Structure 1
Amino acid sequence: MDTSPSERRTEVNTSTLGIIGTGMVGAGVARRAVDAGLDVVLSNSRGPETLAGLVAELGPRARAATPAEAARAADLVLASLPLAAHERLPRSELAGKTVIDPMNYAPKPGWRIPELDSDELTSSELVQRHVAGARVVKALHNIGPRQLLDLCRPAGAPDRSALPLSGDDPAANEEVTDLLDVLGFDAVDLGTLAESWRSEPNTPLYAFPYVGQPPSGLTVPELVAWVQGAPGVPVPAALVKDLAAAAVRGPAGFQM
């Protein structure tokens, strides 16, 4: 189910985005959402009072809350926790909501998920299993906050970038497509959550198309820092489709 940029509308059927988790991804999406005219309800595991600085920076469209309150406040919720903390998501408050999942699997010594290592599940299927009453859509996981701000463009702009999404519920996919449109991006629907691996780490569609070729000889920490700070490179919808089609499923999670 591909999305035609020329047919996208520039409205979203909610004026409020709930955000659970305010690390780089959550804060970056919040900034872009506020700039695009949406209200945001921010939350983290440490309490609303710890978000006073970010709320002040974002202005009157932002307020802080608990994760449960952020889930109740919006029909569309960004769950930007580390994947290792996904079981902290408030299941009852997210029931009936569309949950955007930007989480990626990053196994480390002492913490691995056998179902992901064996490719029995994708990470988003794992999240969907936890929040069974919600409608999970994988999105906003393969682009960094700097590039999210650099690459947003009005609908129809010749250098507008596209982002992939995957989900099992067509109506939820459409909601997230509309949100991406408001944030300044076209969307390419890659199919169900079972196909979301096509845009996860270690695939051609993850991160690097939006920043270009990194310098050679970087250590892993240097590479991560370079990607986080690199200016955005436009990625059209046709290229997103081609890169997704070229993906070959290998070991799950970051493999550096």
Structure 2
Amino acid sequence: MTYELYYWDGIQGRGEFVRLALEEAGADYIDITRQSGRGRGTGAMLSVMRSDSEAHIPFAPPFLKDGDLIIPHVANILLYLGPKLGLAPDDEGLRYVVNGLQLTITDFVAEVHDTHHPIATSLYYEDQKEEAKARSADFIKERIPKFLGYFERVLQQNPYGAKHVAGDALTYVDLSLFQIVEGLVYAFPKAMSSYRSKYPLLATLHDSVEHRPNIARYLKSDHRLPFSTEGIFRHYPELDMEAS
């Protein structure tokens, strides 16, 4: 059965973490808002969220429909899809380790978002620029090293080798870390200018994912949306600075 992915049209956002898994696996899926057009597709998404008949309505996108089942939240979607797509370890215990890593990525993504919207999501970036500068300075100095340093250590300490973040085969967390690096390099090119020397294992993982046949094909396609100042990862030159 064809999976249905629901997310805002026109931006990568959190939906991209799910798309990368579906694309890597060559899964049959429909990107609902893009397939139907911005107006109709978004309307279809909102109708699910506001439904009076669905048993389990999602709070916000992204969410995935598999038949009658609706699965919300990126980490939850990937926990569900991982075994079905061959992107999760066979060992059940290790699957929860992978899920924990994905949840850590969820925390990181929330902090990325807050660099440009530190006060409220209801306000425009222009309404909170000074606060965003202060938040971004701390993010670059303290939070990027903390999170990327953690994942570098996870790779280093993987008993199966540093090629993957967990176990001896590709998982959806490897794909998500690729997206994290891509997004940070776009949003903070100065701060990330020396990341390859600071986090060599993470850089190697990024490159290996980038060159996987299905991912490479997807990245070159029209279906891969570009980064922009409407998504999670946004480049505002005034927020970027060299890492100390």
TM over 0.5: no
Higher strand share goes to which structure?
1
TM-score, length basis structure 1: 0.32
TM-score, length basis structure 2: 0.33
Q: Which has the larger radius of gyration?
A: 2
